[in-house]
C-alpha cells in the first residue's frame, strides 16, 4: 500500500508550484513534450476515451497563429513562451473505443448521443488537462493555462482539417521565471467547499 510522496515532491506538484506569466530563456525539447504525453496519457478517463488532442506550438510562426486569437493580455505570453499548447478535444472520441476499451462495445454507448459526447469530451479532456499540468510539473517544468481566447477562431486556425476536434484551453510551457508572477490567490479551507457525510 502506498506512502505519501516527499514534502519536496508535494511542493513541486502543488504547494509551491505556480501558474507562470513568463519563462526563463531555456528551451523545451520535443522529447520533453513526448515525456509529458507519456505521463499524462496514463491518467484515467471514462471508458479510456482519451479525448484530448494537443497541438504544441514551438515555432514563432505557430505561436503567432495562436496568439492572434487570444486576449491582448494573453497574446504576449503565448508569443514569448518556449512552447504554447492548444489542448483540444475530439467529440468523436467514441470512434476509437473499439481499440482503447476493447472488452465491450463502448462505442455504442456514445454513437447516438452527439450532445452527450460534447459533455464527456469536455469533462475528460479537462481531466487530461489536469494531468498535463501536473505531468509538466512532475518533470520540472511550469505551465500557464488560460481560457481567454476565441475558441471558434482557434478551431478554424488549427482544427479545420479535423472538424470534430474543438479547442478546450491553451497553456504556455517552460521553466517559469519567478519575476513574472504575483501574489497567490486565496485558497479556501476544507470546511468551506467540502462536507463529510
Q: Enumerate residues 59-98 that contact a second copy by CB under 8 A.
A: 59, 61-62, 65
CB 4 within 8 A of CB 10: yes
Closest CA to 74 of 135, 117, 19, 27: 19
Using CB under 8 A as the binding rule, the residues of this chain from 90 to 149 that contact a second copy are 99-103, 119-120, 122-124, 126-131, 133-135, 137-143, 145-147
Cell numbers representing residue 168 in the block: 478546450
Contact pattern for a second copy over residues 166 through 185, marking x by CB under 8 A: --xx-----x------x--x
Residue 66 CA to its chain's centroid (Å): 15
d(CA 106, CA 96): 10
14-53 residues in contact with a second copy (CB under 8 A) are: 14-15, 17, 19, 24, 26, 30, 33-34, 37-44, 46, 48, 50, 52-53
Minimum Å gap between C-beta 179 and a second copy is 13
CA atoms within 13 A on the CB side of 97: 21
CB closer to a second copy, 76 vs 116: 116
Amino acid at each position: 500500500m502506498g506512502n505519501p510522496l516527499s514534502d519536496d515532491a508535494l511542493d513541486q506538484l502543488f504547494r509551491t508550484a505556480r501558474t507562470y506569466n513568463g519563462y526563463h530563456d531555456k528551451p523545451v525539447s520535443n522529447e520533453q513534450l513526448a515525456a509529458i504525453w507519456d505521463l499524462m496519457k496514463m491518467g484515467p478517463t471514462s471508458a479510456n476515451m482519451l479525448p484530448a488532442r494537443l497541438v504544441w506550438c514551438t515555432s514563432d510562426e505557430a505561436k503567432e497563429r495562436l496568439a492572434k486569437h487570444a486576449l491582448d493580455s494573453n497574446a504576449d505570453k503565448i508569443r514569448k513562451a518556449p512552447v504554447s499548447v492548444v489542448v483540444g478535444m475530439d467529440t468523436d472520441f467514441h470512434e476509437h473505443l473499439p481499440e482503447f476499451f476493447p472488452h465491450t462495445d463502448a462505442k455504442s454507448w456514445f454513437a447516438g448521443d452527439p450532445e452527450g459526447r460534447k459533455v464527456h469530451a469536455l469533462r475528460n479532456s479537462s481531466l487530461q488537462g489536469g494531468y498535463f499540468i501536473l505531468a509538466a510539473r512532475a518533470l520540472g517544468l511550469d505551465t500557464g493555462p488560460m481560457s481567454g481566447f476565441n475558441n471558434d477562431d482557434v478551431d478554424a486556425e488549427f482544427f479545420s482539417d479535423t472538424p470534430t476536434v474543438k479547442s478546450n484551453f491553451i497553456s504556455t510551457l517552460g521553466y517559469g521565471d519567478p519575476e513574472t508572477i504575483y501574489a497567490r490567490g486565496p485558497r479556501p479551507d476544507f470546511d468551506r467547499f467540502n462536507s463529510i457525510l
